Structure 1
Amino acid sequence: MHTGMNIAFFGSSLVSAYWNGAATYYRGIIRALHERGHRVTFYEPAAFDRQAHRDIDDPDWAKVVVYSAADTDELRHCLEEARQADLVVKASGVGVFDAMLESAVLELRRAGNMVAFWDVDAPATLERLTQYRDDAFIPLVPKYDLILTYGGGEPVVNAYLALGAKRCVPIYNALDPQTHFPVRGETRFDAELALLANRLPDREARVDAFFFDVACQLPRHRFLLGGNGWHDRPVSDNVRYLGHVYTHDHNAFNSSPLAVLNISRASMARFGFSPATRLFEAAGAGACMITDAWAGLEQFFEPGEEILVARDGEAVVEHLLRLTPMAARAIGTAARQRVLAEHTYAHRAAELEAVLDATPRGGALRTGVGQYGNKVVK
């Protein structure tokens, strides 16, 4: 077992969830790794106004290093520091210097360490690589010791293997029970249906169908919308827009409404097997969840018992018209029990350790030609 590993992690942000849907995932995984005796240094850029919208201080379970997004000098220093790590992780979607990082971390391979690419949005990455066959990341895929993804199941694994990945393993979203749990409902979050989602082109048409159109059909129901980017979107009178909802308010946001809606982005729905972070946050708070349908859902929640599934907006309307507070509480309680039993970040950290145990260290591949015929980075 790789106990006490020194891990260097290059990601979008650990301390800010502002325009950063991966924050909860990073926090849950890294805290759980810390609790299992590993040391993580998280390198993140001062970008997209995230540092001005921090929602946690630097945690005691990870060291956070913030580097400039204006030039590469500070990043190069971070890379040199990361050379001593046992495991170097480059996450997708850092947002700054991504192409440089994808190749630079491979140069940190030395005898006895591992270099991994952790794709926190595999459907989007793979659609990009399929569309642009000259993408600079494609020849790099076989050079990583390991590809990790935050979801995607067999379709994503097979797609990465087809690109020459040595190994691809999903490490799914989960619940951090220390962060997300039931709280007393608050009137500011009262609604029959609440949605927390940033406005993204890959999601907007589905939000129209599953949320805004439903609100128009149920004028006497109250709808609550949180997330960035919706300020100029015309809404019906029964929709209240909150803007960005900070992490410390997520439990109240999920505990207060009758039901909480999950809407997958189009690419994630197509690939399936990608439960959103929001699902586990809401389940942790004991919320009754309504989700759009996607392949693999049954692997995480039992439809009708632990979650309500809607194939279109009409199904959302039907759920809301039938749902009683008693039934909502029962579904939310069942969902919480399920994730506590099977889907916490403690479970995921143990899964990750098992994956690392089975992954050859990169030093054996420092020179020569790799097993897929690619020249290996020194």
Structure 2
Amino acid sequence: MKIAFYGSSLLSSYWNGAATYYRGMLKALADRGYAITFYEPDAFDRQQHRDIDPPDWARSVVYPATPEAVRMVLAEAAQADIVVKANGVGVFDRELLEGVLRDARRDALKIFWDVDAAATLDEMRGDPDHPVLRALPELDLVLTYGGGPPVIDAYTGFGAAACVPAYNALDPAMHYPVPADPRFAADLAFLGNRLPDREARVEEFFLKPAAALAGNSFLIGGNGWETRDMPDNVRHRGHVYTAEHNAFNCTPRAVLNVARDSMAHIGFSPATRVFEAAGAAACLITDAWDGIEQFLEPDVEVLVARDGQDVAAHLSALTQERAREIGAAARARVLAEHTYAQRAVQLDALLKAHRARALEAA
């Protein structure tokens, strides 16, 4: 089947944390026989900070961020059996969603794929004219980056015909152990862009422990932190390209995952970083959120912190040997249960079932 996917970017992770998720999930679907075209706008300097060349498993279409170009790429929706609009494209989001519903064939499966469901749902609660809320009656399926039962219940409560989480996972060909790289040497490292609904939690779970452990070294990667005051023992690395993620995860004694406010509140939303770190056999310390046991076992495959004091305590007690044991256990778990190939088996069955219903209805 042919998939037309309208998203933020497949080629660049610059200000685009969903890039590795798109790559892992769509490559796994392509391996199962899907013909995928990914449409992304030339916006936010992403094309100047590409991580990958156009892959051989998908057709990549980069279009100018203009109304005319949007209309041109939407016209191609009519060629697809499955048409997907992802949230957070950043430009023309309303027009793309409305265009997908207008231009897709009547028998096509129409999907909204939400990689920030908690935030989208909050917006919908406050805006009765929200484009996603208006589109739900015409959509066949909502897929989400995570969120578990709370997100499923919220979306179906708003009128979605069906809502299914398609969780992040590991692509073992992309994320795996590599030798340490002195550029990323630290006792604790964190990778994430500076965002309004993340900054307070980064301050609590990363900067506060750094201030308390002056004898330890800390490393922060991601866009936007260069203007933030940091303790003297924190180094800022800037944007870390996808090709550098394995070294970033393998080199420090431990790496930190910090969820955004909305995802921490709703739970069941492991970030791509969780699986990338586990795939690299890194020792992961994560902030606490509901549902983590579904993905990694606390104190065996991951260390869980309720606040910055817990992070500091974990780091103070963590030996190199213990860190290696946790990292190895995490890698074994995600290889056994949480790869994109495994997610694609489930998603393939789901898409075929909903596609059959769409054909029947048409």
**Matched position secondary structure for 1:358:** helix
Match status 1:296 vs 2:291 = yes
**Matched position secondary structure for 2:84:** strand
Match of 1:317 in 2: 312
Match of 1:20 in 2: 16
* Offset at residue 247 of structure 1 (A): 0.6
> 1:156 and 1:203 mapped to 2: Cα distance?
20
Which has the higher mean CA deviation after the structures are superposed, 74-83 or 115-124? Answer: 74-83
Deviations along 1:248-278, one digit per CA (max 9) or x if unpaired, are 1000000000000000000001110000000
RMSD: 1.1
> 1:119 and 1:226 mapped to 2: Cα distance?
25
Match status 1:261 vs 2:233 = no
> 1:25 and 1:103 mapped to 2: Cα distance?
24
1:367-378 superposed matches below 5 A: none
Choose which of 22, 32, 36 in structure 2 pairs with 1:40. Answer: 36
Name the one with the larger helix percent.
2
* Offset at residue 73 of structure 1 (A): 1.2
Match of 2:26 in 1: 30
What count of residue pairs does the alignment treat as equivalent?
361
- CA contact 2:107–2:361 (8 Å) conserved in 1: no
Structure 2: gaps spanning 5 or more residues: none
* Offset at residue 133 of structure 1 (A): 2.4
1:234-273 superposed matches below 5 A: 234-273=229-268
Q: Which amino acid aligns with 1:54?
A: R
- CA contact 1:181–1:285 (8 Å) conserved in 2: yes
- CA contact 2:184–2:251 (8 Å) conserved in 1: yes
After superposition, the Cα gap between the structure-2 partners of 1:82 and 1:134, relative to the gap in structure 1 and judged at 3 Å, is: closer
Deviations along 1:281-319, one digit per CA (max 9) or x if unpaired, are 100100000000001100000000000000000000100
Match of 2:78 in 1: 83
Q: Which amino acid aligns with 1:28?
A: G
Choose which of 175, 178, 181 in structure 2 pairs with 1:183. Answer: 178
Match status 1:328 vs 2:337 = no
Structure 1: gaps spanning 5 or more residues: 367-378
Choose which of 211, 214, 218 in structure 1 pairs with 2:206. Answer: 211
> 2:330 and 2:230 mapped to 1: Cα distance?
31
Deviations along 1:34-60, one digit per CA (max 9) or x if unpaired, are 111111000000000000000101111
**Matched position secondary structure for 1:321:** helix
Choose which of 97, 102, 106 in structure 1 pairs with 2:97. Answer: 102
Match of 2:300 in 1: 305
Q: After the TM superposition, which segments of 4 or more aligned residues of structure 1 sit over 2 Å from their partners?
A: 108-112, 360-366
**Matched position secondary structure for 1:228:** coil
1:121-136 superposed matches below 5 A: 121-136=116-131
Match status 1:59 vs 2:55 = yes
* Offset at residue 361 of structure 1 (A): 4.0
The percent identity for this pair of structures is 60
1:108-127 superposed matches below 5 A: 108-127=103-122
Q: Which amino acid aligns with 1:74?
A: A
Match of 1:373 in 2: none
Deviations along 1:297-344, one digit per CA (max 9) or x if unpaired, are 000000000000000000001001100000000000000000000100
> 2:120 and 2:293 mapped to 1: Cα distance?
25
* Offset at residue 365 of structure 1 (A): 4.9
1:122-161 superposed matches below 5 A: 122-161=117-156
- CA contact 1:216–1:236 (8 Å) conserved in 2: yes
- CA contact 1:199–1:229 (8 Å) conserved in 2: yes
> 2:56 and 2:360 mapped to 1: Cα distance?
34
**Matched position secondary structure for 2:168:** coil
- CA contact 1:145–1:361 (8 Å) conserved in 2: no
Match of 1:369 in 2: none
Match status 1:280 vs 2:275 = yes
> 1:52 and 1:110 mapped to 2: Cα distance?
34
* Offset at residue 111 of structure 1 (A): 4.4
* Offset at residue 103 of structure 1 (A): 1.2
Q: Which amino acid aligns with 1:67?
A: Y
Q: Which amino acid aligns with 2:80?
A: A
Q: Which amino acid aligns with 2:266?
A: F
**Matched position secondary structure for 1:231:** helix
* Offset at residue 139 of structure 1 (A): 2.0
Normalization by structure 1: what TM-score?
A: 0.94
